[in-house]
Amino acid sequence: MTYALAPHAIPAIPVAGTDLRFPVHRIYCIGRNYADHAAEMGASVDRTQPLFFMKPADAIVIDDGDVPYPPATQDLHHEVEMVVALARGGRDIAVAHALEHVYAYGVGLDLTRRDLQANAKKQGHPWDTAKGFDASAPVSALRRVAEVGHPAAARLMLEVNGERRQEGNIAHMVFSVAEIIHELSKYYELESGDLIFTGTPAGVAALHRGDRFRAEVEGVAVLEGRII
């Protein structure tokens, strides 16, 4: 095949302890998946209607790299989240078999232009410019299921400049990992290489140029970086 233009490189994430890279197909995110975060945003959780949105695959920032402060915002917020990487996909995946599709776990930040999101909410508009911008998905190296199993209860934490900003437990997710995969597969045909950001606990706040962050899913993965 001859392309009209040179194709872009495939976004890929290191797999911890190996020379392998995980090629990213799509990035799915779920909102309002911790009741305390939903409450701090003035919203409520709805077990009958999960809230999904997406980021571009090339929004990832890897290898603890510097994260550029994005344009068009004065209010960049952090949201620390456990990240799930899929080895295979499908449609209408049953909850009972959903974890069989998981390749690895990590930790990431769902960076958000909060002022743009707030304005979009007021006008009933989509959140794309608030969530799906360049470098909006810093993510750690991935730890394979063979190493960490399927964590069901682990502390999820974020420190900024050495100060604890967010702390929760993945056991408190409204939709579990298996349920998220099941619900997503009703709307999309999931594929190998898909990433899922699984939601954030309370404590979201602003990041500024020069801030250093450290995100962790205890016993699973650590991500460090700097806003420049």
Which phi and psi angles does 40 have, rounded to 5°? -70, -20
CB 142 within 8 A of CB 85: yes
> What SS3 state is found at 128?
helix
Dig out the tokens for 227 from the structure: 């806003």
On the question of pLDDT at 111 being above 90, the answer is yes
Dig out the tokens for 181 from the structure: 């995969």
Count CB neighbours of 180 within 10 A.
25
CB 107 within 8 A of CB 60: no
Tell me the pLDDT tens digit for each residue of 52-81.
999 999 999 999 999 999 999 999 999 999
Q: Given pLDDT bands bounded at 50, 70 and 90, which one contains residue 84? A: very high
Q: Examine residue 1 and state whether it is found in any structural domain, yes or no.
A: no
Pairing of strands 21-23, 12-14: antiparallel
> In angstroms, rounded to a whole number, what is the distance separating the alpha carbons of residues 155 and 203?
14
Give pLDDT, residue 36.
Answer: 92
Q: Examine residue 220 and state whether it is found in any structural domain, yes or no.
A: yes
CATH of the domain at 171: 3.90.850.10
Q: Given pLDDT bands bounded at 50, 70 and 90, which one contains residue 31? A: very high
Mean pLDDT, rounded, for 159-171: 98
Q: Given pLDDT bands bounded at 50, 70 and 90, which one contains residue 151? A: very high
Give pLDDT, residue 44.
Answer: 86
Tell me the DSSP string of 37-91.
HHHHTT----TTS-EEEEE-GGGEE-TT--BPPPSS-S-EE--EEEEEEES--BS
Q: Identify which of 11, 209, 25, 27 has the alpha carbon closest to the alpha carbon of residue 109.
A: 27
Count: domains in the chain:
1
CB 115 within 8 A of CB 183: no
Give pLDDT, residue 166.
Answer: 98
Q: Examine residue 37 and state whether it is found in any structural domain, yes or no.
A: yes
Tell me the pLDDT tens digit for each residue of 195-222.
999 999 999 999 999 999 999 999 999 9
> In angstroms, rounded to a whole number, what is the distance separating the alpha carbons of residues 149 and 102?
10
> In angstroms, rounded to a whole number, what is the distance separating the alpha carbons of residues 53 and 66?
24
Give pLDDT, residue 129.
Answer: 98
Question: Is 0.85 topped by the overall pTM?
Answer: yes
Q: Identify which of 5, 49, 18, 11 has the alpha carbon closest to the alpha carbon of residue 186.
A: 49
Mean pLDDT, rounded, for 151-157: 98
Mean pLDDT, rounded, for 149-158: 98
**Residue-range definition of the domain harbouring residue 45:** 12-226
> In angstroms, rounded to a whole number, what is the distance separating the alpha carbons of residues 218 and 90?
30
> What SS3 state is found at 180?
helix
Q: Examine residue 17 and state whether it is found in any structural domain, yes or no.
A: yes
Tell me the pLDDT tens digit for each residue of 167-203.
999 999 999 999 999 999 999 999 999 999 999 999 9
Mean pLDDT, rounded, for 102-119: 98
Give pLDDT, residue 177.
Answer: 98
Mean pLDDT, rounded, for 43-54: 92
Q: Given pLDDT bands bounded at 50, 70 and 90, which one contains residue 45? A: confident
Mean pLDDT, rounded, for 87-98: 98
On the question of pLDDT at 46 being above 90, the answer is no
Q: Examine residue 86 and state whether it is found in any structural domain, yes or no.
A: yes
Q: Examine residue 53 and state whether it is found in any structural domain, yes or no.
A: yes
